[in-house]
Structure 1
Amino acid sequence: MQNAVILINVEKGRIRGVAERLAELDGISEVYSTCGRYDLIAIARTRDFESLAALVTERLTSVEGIRDTETLNAMQVHSRHDLDAMFSVGL
């Protein structure tokens, strides 16, 4: 499994439409609108690196209104949710 955080800047007035379109793409699990340097943050979860590469270089670029992106490929996932589930089994 490949996980990535994709930081996105969008053309003025197009945040909602771009966010909705991104949320429909296979491989995007969540999209957040934000305040600050980036307009949107998309969480990508794909089966392998090749699928992530196709998502970022092909499907994302087909979404109109995206100005630029920065993709942060996750090396390891640390999640309280996963730890809670692991320690709650049988205890």
Structure 2
Amino acid sequence: MPTAIVHIDADVARIPEVAEQIASTPGVAEVYSVTGDTDIVALVRVKQHEDLASVIPDAIGKIPGVKRLRTYLAFREFSQGDLDAAYNLGLD
């Protein structure tokens, strides 16, 4: 499943509303208001690589209050469940 991590700069006065609209966008799995160089981080998960275009620039990028997007495509997922399975030798 193609996954993208999207850093979103937003109008500071509209961060909560922008984040809520992003969270309600189909294909968006998680949304976080964060500290640092960006205002919002969204995790986008879609069925096909081509679907990223309809979610990120076509939907998120057009939400009023969004100023800038920086998108990072994930190569591999290293969640705790995946790591546990990878190192499980079947010994109890």
Greater displacement, 69-78 / 52-61? 52-61
Q: Which moved more, 1:52-61 or 1:29-38?
A: 52-61
Aligned to 2:70: 70
Number of residue pairs matched?
Answer: 91
Task: Tell me, in whole angstroms, the C-alpha distance in 2 between the residues paired with 1:36 and 1:65.
Answer: 18
Q: Equivalent residue for 1:22?
A: 22
Could you say which residue in structure 1 is the equivalent of 2:52?
A: 52
* SS state at 1:38 partner: coil
1:6-58 deviations in Å (ceiling 9; x for gaps): 00100121110000000000110000001110000000000111101211121
What TM-score do you get using the length of structure 2 for normalisation? 0.87
Equivalent-residue separation in structure 2 for 1:81 and 1:32 (angstroms): 22
Aligned to 1:36: 36
CA RMSD of aligned residues (A): 1.9
* Unaligned segments of structure 2, at least 5 residues: none
Aligned partner of residue 75 in structure 2, secondary structure: coil
Q: Which one has a larger percent helix, Structure 1 or Structure 2?
A: 1
Amino acid at match of 1:78: F
Per mean C-alpha deviation after superposition, the further-off stretch among 73-82 and 26-35 is 73-82
